[in-house]
Amino acid sequence: MATAQRETFRQGTSALDEARNMGTEAANKAKEAGAAVTQKVGEAASFVGKKAEDATSAMGSGMKSLAETIREKGPEGGPLHAAGSAVASTLESGGRYLQEHGLSGIGEDMAHLIKRNPIPALLVGIGLGFLIARATTRS
């Protein structure tokens, strides 16, 4: 009888070891799959970020081009010339800023602005939230 018990115990231990090995193997495969997914998500985020930066640069270029068009086709003198020139200068400097700094530069500048002026930034955020809430509840 003792021999049968030992054989049963040995078989149980063997089955337990096999189950443990299968569990370890499954965990390793899950880790590998997770790492692959993480890598793909990182690549996708990098691609989207690059495209957003490219679009921002293109927008800056378009703003500078519009400024040139306003200067070329605007009136030669008078108050409309002064207004057109001011608009063109603003568009040109904004376009240059977008081309040089991109979205990351805008984000950094916004963070610095909020750090320097926390109370007005908070009030602007509350005001924008209120306006967005009103706009979405009326639709």
Domain boundaries, the chain: 2-138
Residue-wise pLDDT tens digits, 34-84: 888 888 888 887 788 788 888 888 888 888 998 899 888 888 888 888 888
Question: In 3-state terms, what secondary structure has residue 75?
Answer: coil
Among 101, 102, 125, 126, CA closest to 114 = 125
- pTM value > 0.85: no
Tell me whether residue 99 is exposed, middle or buried, using C-beta atoms within 10 angstroms of its C-beta: 0 to 12, 13 to 18, 19 or more: middle
